[in-house]
Chain A
Amino acid sequence: MDLYIQVLVSGLLLGGVYALISVGLNLIFGVVRIINFAHGEMVMIAMYLTFWLHHFSKLDPYVSAIVIMPVMFIFGIVFQRIVVQPILATSATMKIFATVGVSLLLQNLALIAWKGDFRTVQTSYSMSSLEVFDIIVSIPRLVAFSAALLSIIVLYYFLKYTYVGKALRAIVEDHAVARLMGVNVEKHYILAFGMGTMFTALGGVLLMPFSSVYPTVGVTFTLLAFVVVVLGGLGSMSGTFFAGLFIGVVESIGGTFVSPALKEAIYFAIFVLVLLVRPQGLFGKGKGSEEVGLK
């Protein structure tokens, strides 16, 4: 019985970080309506930044988030301005190719700059854990979960109560009407991209103390984030959060009782199942989802 609770707990903790990475994607995908195949590469870059900051200046991974988040915010804006903005008017297929190109570019630039080695950050707390009722809770995973939860709550209230947040939600629901209501849609595209990248990057930073980074680490995260967003529903932050937890638990169960190699198979099965049975996701806003192919 303890084993089951153990698996459940570690799944939930991991799922929190997955949720954070996917929240970033949901913001970008929901607002800008672009399938960003380079999403995982943003996680990868954030992980490498964490590693190098730790390596050269002995900066603690959690402290380095203060530097990395603004840097990745700017990275997101630059990415949107240079790559995404010029191709917004083209077909969805073209957008896929442009972002696949970016993903290929970033992966291999990382390979050139930092080689294919697996790199990990060794901290004093990497291996430490708590024991609550015979359940072992790893400290870095607990920190990651709490920080992810906190960021998602902050984002949730930001979207709900600030003017900018309301404008962003309006664009998710219908950008043509949002424009008619006087929202500067292009400006919010840039903002959404920056914010989405920033939250995704935070996810990468939080993962670093207990996992390793290598150039192609992002591929799995791209797939994972899309599965979570589709499952949770486009434009729904709470949906993404619970879907992230769910995927974390499923992965943890599958990894323990079946085979860790089946991770992708599980994602694939859930992805297809959700799209067929409930295309708007568990908490989806539904409207407008057809236009990006969510049908």
Chain B
Amino acid sequence: MKPNLRYWLGAPAFLILLLIPWFFQSTFVLHMHTLIFFYIALTAVWNIPAFGGKLSLGHAAFFGIGAYTATILYVKYGITPWLGLLAALVVSMLGGLVMTLPLIRLRGPFFTLASIAFAEVLRMIAIDWRSLTNGSVGINIPFKPAWINMTFQGGKPFYYMSLILAVGIVWLTYRLKNSALGFHLRAAASDEEAAQALGINTSRAHFIALMWSSGLTGAIGVFYVFYIYVLEPHTIFSLDLFSLQPALNGIIGGMGTISGPVIGAILMTPLGEFLRFYLGTIQQGLNYVVYGLVLIATVKFIPGGIVSLLTPIIKRTPGRKKIPLSGQVEAR
């Protein structure tokens, strides 16, 4: 997309989004938008290690660490969630460090498998460590509306907060992708050995990407948990909601691209909510059947995601070839 086109499309869209809460009073509209913004942010940060071909299915781990840190600080020690947000960022980065240091050398599928295991371990800890986490019952956040408590009457403040979060994080991933780090990651994704031969410290690049990703995922977790008031280990460390969903959005939109996560989240979040509320009430699990089918179909028919369908239409600038992503473990 050419910069001016991006500007002409982006600015009005942003303005419309700013005005939406003043025209639609329905809580459903606000809630749906807020959820979409959350998932845009979550998918975009999930996508940062994916620039380098590292596919995590364990991001619920960082999401949960962040959410738990801020909630425990607030409910048990009365520390404002805004400070908790910083703490969550740091603690989930530490979590990322614990996961990344041993796993950094694992490639492709093994990294993915280990990341799932990591999230499962954390969920077990959250359930088992009752004195700190209140076990599988979870923690309720008391409803005391005030800015300092990050708790609000009505959905507008969270609408704007999540909008800013989404825009900020997408902008950040854009900057990251076009920084030296981004180029290192993309080089590592297309050929790890070749990148190393050119003097790129690929492990370092993967490491930094995962640090960004884990820390920011924890921060998004804080906003999410203060939005829904309830912290419960089975939901917050859920493989389906916070590990698989961002990955699903990313792959359907287009992994390793900037607009992919945005498109994926915009399409999949309403679909997911619709399926959960309509099909899910008819028959529990039916929504995930649809998800599974969508996933298989995407891999089979549009492996580059929806972005790969749109790029030939939008991008007419010749000479800029798309760098293939995650070709490092190509099967012969």
Q: Measuring CB to CB, which residues of chain A are less than 8 angstroms from any residue of chain B? A: 33-35, 83, 86-98, 100-109, 111-112, 116, 175-176, 215, 219, 223, 226, 230, 259, 261-262, 264-265, 267-268, 271-272, 275-276, 290-295
Contact = CB atoms under 8 A, between A and B. Distances in A.
Q: Choose among A93, A112, A175 the residue with the greatest number of B CB atoms under 10 Å from its CB.
A: A93
B123 to A, nearest CB: 8
A108 B108 contact: no
Contacts of A261: 124, 127-128
A189 to B, nearest CB: 12
Contacts of B118: 268
Nearest to B105: A276
A25 B105 CA distance: 23
A10 B121 CA distance: 24
B300 A267 contact: no
B113 A101 contact: no
A261 B283 CA distance: 30
A42 to B, nearest CB: 15
Nearest to B296: A101
A97 B251 contact: yes
B113 A35 contact: yes
Given A93-B53, A102-B296, A295-B107, A223 B116 contact: yes
B285 A112 contact: yes
Contacts of A92: 108-109, 326, 329-331
Contact of B112 (A90, A96, A106): A96
Contact of A272 (B55, B114, B291, B329): B114
Q: What secondary structure prevails in chain A residues at the interface with B? A: helix
Contacts of B108: 92-93, 96, 292-293
Contact of A276 (B102, B109, B113): B102
Given A104-B288, A112-B289, 11 more contacts: A83-B296, A104-B289, A104-B291, A108-B289, A176-B332, A261-B127, A264-B117, A268-B118, A292-B329, A293-B108, A293-B329
A228 to B, nearest CB: 12
Contacts of A291: 329, 331-332
Given A89-B331, A176-B332, A111 B110 contact: no
B292 A104 contact: yes
Given A223-B116, A275-B106, A292-B108, A93 B332 contact: no
A93 B55 contact: yes
Interface string B233-265: 000000100001001000100010000000000
B150 interface: no
Interface string B289-307: 1011111101110010000
A109 B111 CA distance: 28
Contacts of A262: 124
A230 B106 CA distance: 12
Q: What secondary structure prevails in chain B residues at the interface with A? A: helix
Contact of B283 (A96, A101, A107, A112): A112
A223 B102 contact: no
B289 A109 contact: yes
Interface residues of B, number: 52
B119 to A, nearest CB: 9
B284 interface: yes
A105 B285 contact: no
Contacts of B72: none
Contacts of B230: none
A105 B110 contact: no
A277 to B, nearest CB: 11
Contacts of B168: none
9 contacts: A91-B330, A92-B331, A100-B244, A105-B288, A108-B289, A111-B284, A219-B239, A265-B124, A268-B117
B235 to A, nearest CB: 15
A92 B112 CA distance: 11
Nearest to A264: B120
Given A96-B112, A97-B298, A291-B329, A111 B285 contact: yes
Contact of A292 (B103, B109, B291): B109
A49 B150 CA distance: 51
B331 A33 contact: yes
Interface string B108-143: 111111101110110011011000000000000000
A-B pairs with lowest CB-CB distance, top 6: A105-B292, A101-B295, A293-B107, A111-B285, A293-B108, A108-B285
B286 interface: yes
Contact of A223 (B113, B284, B292, B298): B113
A106 B332 CA distance: 28
Interface in B33-84: 53, 55, 57
B145 interface: no
A288 B12 CA distance: 53
A116 B283 CA distance: 12
B303 A104 contact: no
B10 interface: no
Given A90-B303, A105-B296, A264-B124, A271 B107 contact: no
